[in-house]
Amino acid sequence: MDFVSRLEARFGRFAIPGLVQVVAILQLVTLGLFLISSPEAQDTFMGFLELDPGRVMRGEVWRVVSHVFLPRSLSLVWALIGAMFLMWIGRGLDEAWGAFRVNLYVVGGILSLTLGALIFGYVGGGLFLFQTLLFAFAVFYPNEEIMLFFVIPVKVKWLAIMGAALLGFSVMGQPELFWQVLFANLNFLVAFGPAFVRQSAQRAKVMERKSRFEAASPSAGDFFHQCHVCGKTEVDDKTLEFRVLESGDEICNVCREKATAGS
């Protein structure tokens, strides 16, 4: 059992179900309060919620959390669309991860952004949390489609790639944003970075084995894949599918299904 699983077993009962959806609703509430405020009070109201490291150090600790509730748009229509999209992302993450891990991801994102703000002095808002949630959703559901501007079908993975590219261009144009972008996405790097590294290493290992196999000019009886459980190869059964485990061994789909059923 990994560290996060041990935490979930111990503290999972304290997780808030649908936390991302709650954040989306509170963003709408914040916008509603802004819209009914007088023009003189609107700037003060928004300034009261933003992540200002100087004021946090002076005791205004609510800003560590309240900046998440700042709406991404002051247009009611776009705010509603954004809130519905955020709720959709939240439901998907709840199904893929469970409430505890979603809570851990959101809290980790808030704390890492706050830590960066305290160190480097930037002012943070809720937009970065939205982006890091989108990136996580794209990992689990890369081929889910949305209608961009209600007209253009776009897969979520391309939307996430475009978002990452915009962040990259922003940093290139304003290098001072580097630390803010890094700390805002630190939770994503911690949650998914190790898996990306392992997958890249496994793909490199498979490609290396394939290159050695092709260079050896094997005869018709030679094989490339072999299950370390049953010993069968693609020569024995052409319908078998093989996967590389973290240990570097291969397992066929039949043995993998048996192992899953047994667990």
pTM: 0.72
**Are 251 and 245 spatial neighbours (Cβ–Cβ below 8 Å)?**
yes
Is residue 219 over pLDDT 60?
no
Q: What is the pLDDT of residues 78-88, one digit of tens each?
A: 888 888 888 99
By mean pLDDT, which of 63-77, 127-141, 234-248 is the weakest? 234-248
Question: Residue 126's pLDDT is what?
Answer: 67
Give the Cα separation of 26 and 31 in Å (integer): 9
**pLDDT value, residue 1:** 52
Please measure the distance between the N-terminal and C-terminal CA atoms of the chain and give it in whole angstroms: 14
Percent of the chain with pLDDT over 70: 93
pLDDT at 220: 47
Segment holding 226, helix H or strand E: none
Query: Which residues neighbour 124 within 8 Å (Cβ) at sequence distance 6 or greater?
Result: 50, 51, 67, 113, 114, 116, 117, 180, 184
Tokens of 162: 């475009």
What domains are defined for the chain?
A: 3-193 (1.20.1540), 218-262 (no CATH)
| Distance in angstroms (rounded) separating the CA atoms of residues 186 and 171 | 16
Give yes or no for a contact between 137 and 72, defined as CB atoms under 8 angstroms apart: no
Local confidence band at 144 (pLDDT 50, 70, 90 cut-offs): confident
